[in-house]
Amino acid sequence: MTKEQKNEVIEALKEKFSQYNNFYVTNTESLSVEQVTKLRRACFNKNVEMRVAKNTLIKKALESLNNESYTGVYDSLNNVTALLFSENPKEPALIISSFRTESKGEKPELKAAFINGDIYTGDNNLVTLTKIKTKNELIGEVIGLLQSPAKRVLAALLHHHEKQANGGTAEAEAPAAE
């Protein structure tokens, strides 16, 4: 690989690292060509971008962006490295987990994950990363929590209105326990 080609790879990687807040560093060393193709297809279907590059070029790209933010990732740059870039922080973890289940193997191995500024190192974090809530999931939970008291108030008002419409007095009844 010429120096010019290396610089092109570094620039392309810098662009990807700048574009995505989430990326995974995986070891795909013992996967066959067929398995790598299957992994790439799974990534493509889930809008996860997979890139394979030399560790030294990955490190140079990260160092040129912000040396301190990615420090924890450098130790994971060994063996064959595939990078998984995604807008959704847990999608690559789900892909890796399901790929392992289908192939009954231990690869690809999670070496590190960079999720919104936090670094998770080691394959033991894979299960944790599959449980991360996405932004939309968190928003949905907050909306659900905010709607719950409003629904109870509306139900109480409707119950009160129905009692009065039927000639009953709401004051004579005991308040409902929560």
Buried (b) or exposed (e) across 95-112, using 16+ Cβ within 10 A? Answer: bbbebeeeeeeebbbbbb
Report residue 113: phi and psi, to 5°: -140, 135
pLDDT digits (tens, 9 = 90+) for 135-177: 777 677 778 777 777 777 777 778 777 877 776 554 545 555 5
Mean pLDDT of the chain: 86
Cα–Cα distance measured from residue 108 to residue 30, given in angstroms and rounded to the nearest whole number: 8
pTM of the model: 0.74
Q: Which two structure tokens, joined as six digits, stand for 31?
A: 């996967």
Average pLDDT of the residues in 38-44: 95
Q: Which CATH number fits domain 3-132: 1.10.274.10, 3.30.70.1730, 3.20.130.10, 3.40.30.10?
A: 3.30.70.1730
What whole-number percentage of the chain has pLDDT above 90? 53
- Look at the chain and count its residues: 178
CA distance 21 to 7: 22
Backbone dihedral angles phi then psi of residue 34, each to the nearest 5 degrees: -60, -40
Indicate the domain borders of the chain.
Answer: 3-132, 133-178
The string of pLDDT tens digits covering residues 113-143 is 999 888 999 998 888 888 877 677 767 777 8
Please tell me the distance from the alpha carbon of residue 175 to that of residue 84, in angstroms, as a whole number.
56
34: pLDDT confidence band, cut at 50, 70 and 90? very high
Tell me whether the omega of the peptide bond preceding residue 149 falls within 30 degrees of 0, making it cis.
no
Share of the chain above pLDDT 70, in %: 91
What per-residue confidence (pLDDT) applies to 170? 45
Tell me the two tokens of residue 165.
């419409």
